[in-house]
Amino acid sequence: MGLKSYIAKRIVYMLILIWAVITVNFLIFSLMPGNPLEAYVAGMRGKITPERYEELKKAFGLDKPLHEQYINTITRLLTFTFGESAHTTAPVSQEIMRRLPNTLLLLGTSTVLAIIAGTLIGVIVAYKRGGMLDTTMVTGSLITYSVPIFFIGYLLIFIFSVELNLLPPGLPAPQEWAHNPPTNILEVVSGRLRHLILPVFELFLFTVGGWILLTRAVILETITEDYVVTARAKGLKERTVLYKHVLKNASLPLITNVALSMAGIVGGAMITETLFTYEGIGLLTYRSLNPPDLPVLQGIFFILALCVIIANFLADLLYGILDPRVRYG
């Protein structure tokens, strides 16, 4: 199978997955027990008139047969028309886009740092397997990866905010900026960074251990291969052997994990954002659960699923380019 045929096949798979996601989204929010419109209205502030109720029912197509509701759902999701939030009455797309930059900054920073540090440390640990460094890093990784993330967050807040009073315990920016926003770019950057350090460090500690363990595992599978012995026999430096030969040939599982990690960035970190009162997609999801804000939840779930599908598609493309044998699988 050539590269073009491989790409075309993956595009067809991606379109089928998108259709499946839309169908599941429709089944979850439209066929759940109870009346979804009543749940939506229950979350709205104030009283709603019967006339407004009928307008909403018509707007969401709930007065139509089930198959027409399904077609309407496909159209709305593909055009990113999610309706209005039950909590704020603002467009859902606006609510999501207002918080998305905060989530991308938080999870993007922590994920990139964890990937880089975890991969580099994992290669070194695999090279020095069986030694004190290997034992220490594997044990530390298992501990940080197993400890509940909220415990890590509470511990960081207690140490750096309560005891040492060095860093703010929450919010994406200083609270006084709501009434007196800064005009100096350096003040903006420094203020955002101070509020970003603790949640980023929490997510970094929680995820870097997984990257260390994964990298160590894939390196150990390839470090004893014949081509590695040949590269060393040629007199290549050990760093060159590790990073240009071993890591390159062991990179396929890492690419998959990187793609899924990058896709998950959009979904936010619900526990972390809630703990630090960080206005991102994760906190928006948490607040939309009770009382249920169905349009917001539907929009977030669809966008997150779409990002995962696209990330998998890009990972498949990289597979086909880096390892031509994948095309014939």
In which element (H, E) is residue 195 found? helix 185-222
Name the region of 290 (left: φ>0; alpha: ψ -120 to 50; beta: rest).
Answer: beta
Tokens of 185: 């770019």
Between 318 and 278, the more confident residue is: 278
Tokens 């599982």 -> residue: 253
> Cα-Cα-Cα-Cα dihedral of 274, 155, 145, 275, to 10°?
0
Q: How confident is the prediction for the chain on average, in pLDDT?
A: 83
Question: What's the pLDDT score for residue 42?
Answer: 60
Cβ–Cβ under 8 Å, residues 212 and 257: no
CA distance 192 to 15: 39
Report pTM: 0.81
Cβ–Cβ under 8 Å, residues 107 and 276: no
Does 67 have pLDDT greater than 60?
yes
Tokens 């090279």 -> residue: 127
| Domain extents in the chain | 13-78, 94-287
Does 307 have pLDDT greater than 80?
yes
Q: Region 258-264: what's the mean pLDDT?
A: 80
Between 250 and 16, the more confident residue is: 16
Question: What's the pLDDT score for residue 269?
Answer: 82
CA distance 161 to 50: 50
- Residue 74's nearest CA partner among 298, 243, 318 is 298
DSSP for 20-58? HHHHHHHHHHHSSSS-HHHHHHHTSSS---HHHHHHHHH
Q: What's at 21, amino acid-wise? A: V
205 pLDDT band (50/70/90 cuts)? very high
Q: Which CATH architecture has domain 94-287?
A: Orthogonal Bundle (1.10)
Q: Region 213-239: what's the mean pLDDT?
A: 85
CA angle (317, 7, 10) in 5-degree steps: 85
39 pLDDT band (50/70/90 cuts)? low
pLDDT in tens, 80-125: 888 888 778 788 999 999 998 999 899 999 999 999 999 999 988 9
Tokens of 35: 């009346």
DSSP for 263-274? HHGGG--HHHHH
